[in-house]
Amino acid sequence: MKLVKILGSALVALSLSTGVVAQQSQQPSGGQPDQVSQLAQMVGLSDDQQTEIRGIMQEMQGKIRELRKTARTLQQELQGEIKQDFDASAIQEKADELGEVTGKIAGLSALMQARVDAVFTEEQRKELDRRMKQMQQQMQQRRQMMQQQQQSQKQGKGNAQ
């Protein structure tokens, strides 16, 4: 279960850094590598594994993309219900619909992560786990540095007054 969370984090981080897979798979060579290529470099995926993972992700992300569009529409409709003469039942109805859609998104995302995870060998899972821990440590170090800088700036402003 922990590995699924780590894999999910890796896929999310990679998808945020590289954009939509459908666009990436059609990009000309020389552009930024897609998330599957990045995973392949990280853990040494075979060509067959890359093809299988791309198929899983394209199928699932298409479904997720449509649900996200629906969720955005429902969110806008819900915001439209916030007014002086509000209808509590209409607000609750939109909120329930939005909750159902976001639940489906979460379910499909977990299913996609599980299907991708099933493609990895045990060695690849271990390498991904090691790399994700390394990335988490680096992010934690950056956060600590930023906090220290902010504290230094606050102290500098306090002394200047």
pLDDT of residue 156: 75
Question: Which alpha helices (H) appear in the chain, and where do they start and end?
Answer: 2-18, 21-25, 35-43, 47-80, 88-117, 122-160
Mean pLDDT of the chain: 83
| Residues 40-71: b if buried by 16+ CB within 10 A, e if exposed | bebbebeeebbebbbebbeebbeebeebeebb
Average pLDDT over residues 42-71: 95
Bigger pLDDT: 13 or 49?
Answer: 49
Rounded-to-10 torsion of CA 60, 65, 70, 74: 110
Sign of the dihedral defined by the CA atoms of residues 127, 119, 117, 9, in that order: positive
Average pLDDT over residues 36-61: 93
Average pLDDT over residues 62-66: 95
Task: Name the pLDDT band for 59 (thresholds 50, 70, 90).
Answer: very high
pLDDT of residue 20: 37
Kindly state the percentage of the chain with pLDDT values over 90. Answer: 68
Q: DSSP letter for 54, please.
A: H
Sort residue 20 into left (φ over 0), alpha (ψ -120 to 50) or beta: beta
Collect all residues with Cβ–Cβ distance below 8 Å to 116 and sequence separation of at least 6.
7, 11, 53, 56, 57
pLDDT tens profile 94-121: 999 999 999 999 999 999 999 999 999 9
Query: What is the distance between the alpha carbons of residues 14 and 22, in angstroms, rounded to a whole number?
Result: 14
